[in-house]
Structure 1
Amino acid sequence: MGWSFKVHGGVAAVLGAVSVVLAWLTRLPGTLPLPEETGLLALMVVLLFPVLATALARLVLMRVDKALVWQAFRCIPGKVQAGLAVLALSGMAMVFLSLGQEGNLQSAEARGGRYFAFDTTARGTVELSRERYQAVLETDQRSMLTMSGVAFVGAAYAVLAAGELRRADRGVAPSR
């Protein structure tokens, strides 16, 4: 596998690990000193879009079916496979643990010293206490971090599998 695939896959895996770990840290008591949701969302989009788009482009340009991609992934060293599996399963566990935690409230925001969130059942904005606002904000951040973390891990999977397919097409012995 070429060095560009290793670097790209490594960057995606590290960003996925950071996102998933930050999502798990939001489960700790108290609030994390994370940037406001809009800043965090912008950062995730700026980082996620090019990493994920190029990973998928690399895989699509190989023109292979899913079974061959899975076989290529199985050729990757076991520690890398295990690390990506732990990150993916950890992210999925976070998704299931977070389902319905704050019920019908999302998109918390502060305006003029008052706190609001969108209520999906009432289809409108409702006023909240500061404590409830913090809980909704943390849930929003947790779900955003989890989704981006799982997407980064998926990008790492795609890039590393594409790298193994490229190596196999060239007939080069595996570098372990």
Structure 2
Amino acid sequence: MGWSFKVHGGIALAMSFLFLGSAAIAWVPWVSVSTHMTWMLAVAFLLPVGLAALARVLLSRADKKTLWLAFRCLPGRLRVVLGVLALAGVLLTVVGASQENSLQTDGVEDGRYYVYDTTPFQRGRAEVSSSAYADVLRREQRGLLPVFGAAAAVVAYMVFTAGEVRQADARSKQTHVARTRGRPAPGGPSEQMPK
């Protein structure tokens, strides 16, 4: 696998660890939410990496079966890491989504914290304390960041399998060239010799 595939897949893996780690930290009640990783920030980083991975898979022109076979050719530890990250992302997403929360963060203005209430018949913006705002932000992170963690693991899977397909194609071409060079060319000296 080429170095660009390794770097690209490594970036996607690091993003998956970052998102899932941030989501796990959001479950710890005594840890303050210092990094405001919103969905816009996550998409800003994940979108270009994911689109590049999709382009690499499309350029490899491999079908689903070939991609699965290429995934099985990856080192065992890497396959385990990719599987664990994807599974952890799905599980954390399900657990985070199971929390009922009708409040969404709406921003901080002049030192005042605002949330938006989506409860039927009570919709509207309300000012809350900083601790209540941090609690709402933590709940948002619990539900949203695991989705991006799982998506980043899928992106890493796409990159590494596309790299494996590309490497297999390169090996196939080298083998084909070696075989054709070993055979005499049609009309060559071996065919011109009298029998």
TM range (shorter): 0.7 to 0.9
Q: CA deviation at 1:71?
A: 1.6
Q: Which runs of 5+ in 2 are unaligned?
A: 175-195
Larger relative contact order, structure 1 or 2 (CA cutoff 8 Å, min sep 6) = 1
* Sequence identity (%): 41
Question: 1:133 & 1:33 partners in 2: Cα distance?
Answer: 10
Coordinate RMSD, CA, aligned: 2.2
Q: Corresponding residue for 1:166?
A: 166
Amino acid in the other structure paired with 1:109? G
Worse overlay, 53-62 or 98-107? 98-107
1:36 corresponds to which letter in structure 2? H
- Given that residues 12 and 155 in structure 2 are in contact (C-alpha distance below 8 angstroms), is that contact kept between their aligned partners in structure 1? yes
Q: Report the TM-score when normalising by structure 1.
A: 0.84
- What is the Cα deviation at residue 14 of structure 1? 1.4
Q: What is the match of residue 27 of structure 2?
A: 27
SS of the counterpart of 1:142?
helix
8 A contact 2:105–2:133 mirrored in 1: no
Return the index of the structure with the highest Cα Rg. 2
Structure 2 match to 1:2: 2
Comparing 85-94 with 164-173, greater Cα deviation is found at: 164-173
How many Å separate the matches in 1 of 2:142 and 2:39?
A: 11
Structure 1: where are the runs of 5+ without partners?
Answer: none
**Distance in structure 2 (CA, Å) of the matches to 1:21 and 1:105:** 23
| 8 A contact 1:12–1:153 mirrored in 2 | yes
Q: In the aligned structure 2, how far is the partner of 1:147 from the partner of 1:6? A: 23
Q: Is the 8 A contact 2:82 2:157 kept in 1?
A: yes
Q: Counterpart in 1 of 2:113?
A: 115
Number of the residue aligned with 1:89: 87
CA gap of 1:7–1:35, structure 2 versus 1, over 3 A, is same
- Deviation digits for residues 83-124 of structure 1, max 9, x if unmatched? 011111111111111114242222343334443322223343
Q: CA separation in 1, counterparts of 2:27 and 2:106?
A: 18
Q: Is residue 49 from structure 1 mapped to residue 47 from structure 2 by the alignment? A: yes
Residue type of the alignment partner of 1:30: W
